[in-house]
Amino acid sequence: MTAVLQPGATPGPDTHAAAVEDRVSVASNWTLVWWRFRKHKLAMISLGLLLALYTLVLCPDFFSTQHPETTEARQAFIPVQGLHIFDGWSIDPWVPAIVGKRNAETLRMEWRTDAEKKVRVGFFMPGPAYKFLGLIPSTLHLIGPRDASQRIFLLGSDRLGRDQWSRIMHGTQTSMTIGLVAVTLSVILGIVLGGISGYFGGWIDQFIQRLIELLQSVPTIPVWLALSAALPRDWTPIQVFFAITVILSLIGWTTLAREVRGHFLALREEDFVLAAELAGCSRARIIMRHMVPTFLSHIIATSSLAIPAMIINETSLSFLGLGIRPPAISWGVLLQEAQNIQTLALAPWLLIPGLLVIVAVLAFNLVGDGLRDASDPYSK
């Protein structure tokens, strides 16, 4: 038990120590978890990052500069333009203009940025129309060129001249959502099946445990391949998206179920659970009021560690062309663009989505680690 949780003495005079003690006395479990989590600097930074990423998820259109599907063959493989906030000493955002010249030998357009020619950009500029949160029509964008006829490519463009910045915004939405939704489904499956297994025991426990063993012994990648290959080609991107999510979570719940079962088994022996039983609580009440809240913080920690695996799985599937399929956009779909060595040599900026995958996965892992350490505030 940490010192912060030491039993209090008889409340003394109105001193600072006594005030702190009172604050601790009435601190709920979640407050204590938060106090502990706050101490992990890396986890806090990561949490900030994840919150930023999920802000993108809410409305990628607002953050993008163009429609992600606008193609312009003449503007393929434009390099990263780079946003400048200051012009001289005044705040006047701009991006360098792109000048292109056809190489006489390779007949390929060669682009370079020209800092002499400045394309003025502004914040909260009107641009392509979209619906905010899918409901409110809007044309407002976080960044946009002042001259609406100009196109800007903050992170360059791909082989079809699509703006990578805008595509990343939309890809983030898909990938981060898939991770979250797939893990949520896994958690529901895991808690229900693991709970049944751990609370009731007996043959049903045996059955679920054998099922988990069976599922865990199946090699995952071939199964995904088979399942995703079985998805009808004529499904809409949304349907495919949900199908992939379900496929990911159908396989991902087993570890969580085992953990939940372990918690249930351990908790069944706890005195306070027996006390609830002796108080006359119904089974449902014992589970929902006394058992689940006890390990919920552990489950959340474990889930946040499971999300990055889901993101990687989705990325891998889509990269192989078996997951999310164009025209839907995800990080994996974006990385498909960087599949051959020639593109990499010509347009290394197409690897930026990979960087995002790494950042997101790291952030989830750090937050998960922090949560796991903080999830049992009553232990040492």
Partner 1 sequence: MTAMVKQIATEPLLSVRDLHVDFGLDEGLVRAVDGVSFDVMPGRVLGIVGESGCGKSVTMRAILQLVDEPGRITRGEIVYRRDAGDGLGSAGVDLTKLPRHGAAMRAIRGAEIALIPQEPMAAFSPVHTVGAQIVEAIRLHHRQWRPEGGGLSVNDARDIVVDLFRDVGISMPEQRVDAYSWQLSGGLRQRAMIAMALSCKPRLLVADEPTTAIDVTTQAQVLALLRELQRKHGTAIIFITHDLGVIAQMANDVVVMYLGRVVEQGPVDGIFHAAKHPYTRALLRSIPSISGATRVALPTISGTLPHPFNRPGGCPYHPRCDEKIGTVCASHVPHLTQLGNGQAASCFLHQDASETA
Partner 2 sequence: MTATAAPTTAANTTATPTMATSAKPLLSVRGLQKFFPITDGGFFRKTIGQVRAVDDVSFDVVEGETLGLVGESGCGKTTTSRCILRAMEPTAGRIEFRRKDDTIVDLATLTREQLRPLRAEIQMIFQDPFGSLNPRMTLFDNVGEPLLVNGMKNRAERMDRVAELLKLVGLRAEFMHRFPHAFSGGQRQRIGIARALSTNPRLVVADEPVSALDVSVQAQVLNLLLELQQRLGLTFLFVAHDLSVVRHLSDRVAVMYVGQIVELAVTHTLFTRPLHPYTAALMRAVPVPDPRVAIGEVTLKGEVPSPANPPKGCYFHPRCAFAQDRCRQEAPALREPVPGHFVRCHFAEQLDLATQAAG
**Residues engaged in binding partner 2 (CB under 8 A):** 1, 5, 7-8, 21, 24-29, 32, 270-272, 274-283, 285, 290, 293-294, 378
4 binds partner 1 (CB under 8 A): yes
Query: With contact defined as beta carbons under 8 Å apart, do 251 and 220 qualify?
Result: yes
Nearer to partner 1, 17 or 52 (CB): 17
205 binds partner 1 (CB under 8 A): no
Write the CB contacts of 295 (distance below 8 Å, at least 6 apart in sequence). 260, 263, 267
31 binds partner 1 (CB under 8 A): no
Contacted entry of partner 2, partner 1, none for residue 293, CB cut-off 5 to 8 Å set by kind: partner 2
From the CB of 8, what's the least distance to partner 1, in Å? 6
> Which string of b and e fits 81-114 if b means at least 16 CB within 10 Å?
beeeeeeeeeeebbbbbbeeeeeeeeeeeebebe
From the CB of 25, what's the least distance to partner 1, in Å? 11
DSSP characters for 234-299? T--HHHHHHHHHHHHHHHHHHHHHHHHHHHHHHHHT-HHHHHHHHHT--HHHIIIIIIHHHHHHHH
Nearer to partner 1, 1 or 226 (CB): 1
Contacted entry of partner 2, partner 1, none for residue 26, CB cut-off 5 to 8 Å set by kind: partner 2
From the CB of 29, what's the least distance to partner 2, in Å? 4
Nearer to partner 2, 178 or 212 (CB): 212
Q: Which of residues 68-107 bind partner 1 (CB under 8 A)?
A: none
From the CB of 4, what's the least distance to partner 1, in Å? 5
From the CB of 20, what's the least distance to partner 1, in Å? 9
Q: CA 322, CA 316: separation in Å to the nearest integer?
A: 9
What the block records as the tokens of 192 is 């229900």
25 binds partner 1 (CB under 8 A): no
- Cis before 327? omega within 30: yes
From the CB of 376, what's the least distance to partner 1, in Å? 17
Q: CA 96, CA 116: separation in Å to the nearest integer?
A: 7
Contacted entry of partner 1, partner 2, none for residue 99, CB cut-off 5 to 8 Å set by kind: none
What the block records as the tokens of 54 is 């999920």
Q: What angle do CA 243, 248, 254 make, to 5 degrees?
A: 135
8 binds partner 1 (CB under 8 A): yes
Nearer to partner 2, 81 or 294 (CB): 294
Per CB under 8 A, residues contacting partner 1 are: 2-4, 6-10, 12, 17, 21
